[in-house]
Structure 1
């Protein structure tokens, strides 16, 4: 049985598992309560961040790496185009852009906006992180002007990666997205696997329901 520790970016993993029809369980991790009190989780990931995955004797962290592992081990799957497929370069680029260029940048914006002292919420580093996010977002916007999904005509794991980042930016980062991104997220979030993942990730579902739109 595959065990996913934590929601947050763990939602990407849960959504992927639902798309692939793999059995799993979600083990909640309460970061706000303090992971130092969660010995079981720290035994899995001593660094104390989510998500983490246990699959038999395999333990992994980092959501994109976990997704690639699951697709390689339990594939083949259309969620990951073959390297010889013309869609593969765009798939690979946006799979990683969803974290390295988008979510990782907006994470620091969210932290400054919601958790920093009032006097530090408009700090230089948060502004730089937002600038990085906005520059990478132009790549998404340009691609969506060409194709309905980021690797082309077909939904892939790259769309899971980027949809998560766009939702985070919109709901917690104060980012106003354009019509292309709104239409795109409507398509990706209409998938049955997404809906099932939301029912599993109850905390995320409640957060999306409560988080204000900019």
Structure 2
């Protein structure tokens, strides 16, 4: 049984598992309570960040790496185009851009503007991270101008990656999605696997329920 530790970016992992029809359990990790008290989780990831997975003797962290592991170990899956498919380069680019260019950048803006001392909340680094997010978002816009999904005409794991990043930015007030982005997120989140992932991820669902409509 695959165990997923933590939500947050772990939502990507749960969504991937649901798309693939793999058995798993979600083990909550309360980051706000302080992971230093969670000895079971620290035995899995002594760095104390989420998500992580345990799959038999395999322990992994980093949401995109976990997704790639699951799709390689338990595939083949339609979530990954064949390496010779013309869609493969775009798939690979946006799978990683969803974290490296989008989610990571907006994460540091959000935590700075929520947790930093007031005098530092609008610092240069936060501004640079926000500018990076907006810059990389242009690549998403260009892709959506000529295809419904990040790798072309069909849904792939790249869409799990990018959808999570766009939703995180929107839900934290760090971005207002434009018409094309809203339509894209509506397409990806209408999937049954997304809805099952939301049903499983109680903390994510409860947080979203508190947000303004």
Deviation larger for 166-175 or 37-46: 166-175
How much does 1:179 deviate? 0.6
TM-score normalised according to structure 2 size: 0.98
Number of the residue aligned with 1:94:
94
What is the CA-CA distance between 1:200 and the residue it aligns to? 0.3
Give the alignment of 1:1-214 within 5 angstroms.
Answer: 1-212=1-212
Q: Say if 1:6 and 1:29, in contact at 8 Å, map to a contact too.
A: yes
1:82-133 Cα deviation digits (max 9, x unpaired): 1001100000000000000000000111112211222221111100000000
Q: Could you tell me whether the CA contact under 8 Å between 1:113 and 1:173 is conserved in 2?
A: no
Q: Report which stretch shifted further, 113-122 or 138-147.
A: 113-122
CA distance in 1: counterparts of 2:68 and 2:204, whole angstroms: 23
Secondary structure, in 3 states, of the residue corresponding to 2:81?
A: coil
Count of aligned positions: 213
Displacement after TM superposition at 1:206 (Å) = 1.2
Deviation at 1:212, TM superposition (A): 3.7
1:118-158 C-alpha deviation (Å, 9 max, x unpaired): 22211111000000000000000110011000000000000
- The 8 Å contact of residues 105 and 130 in structure 2, kept in 1 or not, is answered as yes
Partner Cα separation in structure 2 for residue 67 and residue 151 of structure 1: 16
Q: Residue 208 of structure 1: CA displacement?
A: 1.4
Q: Any gaps of 5 or more consecutive residues in structure 1?
A: none
**Contact between 2:171 and 2:208, CA under 8 Å: does it hold in 1?**
yes
Tell me which stretches of 4 or more aligned residues in structure 1 moved more than 6 Å.
none
SS of 1:97's equivalent? Answer: helix
- How many Å separate the matches in 2 of 1:114 and 1:24? 33
Counterpart CA distance in 2 for 1:118 and 1:150 is 38
Q: Equivalents in 1 of 2:111, 2:212: separation in Å? A: 16
Aligned-partner Cα distance in 2 for 1:10–1:129: 22
Structure-1 separation of matches of 2:173 and 2:114? 9
Q: In structure 2, list runs of 5 or more residues that go unmatched.
A: none
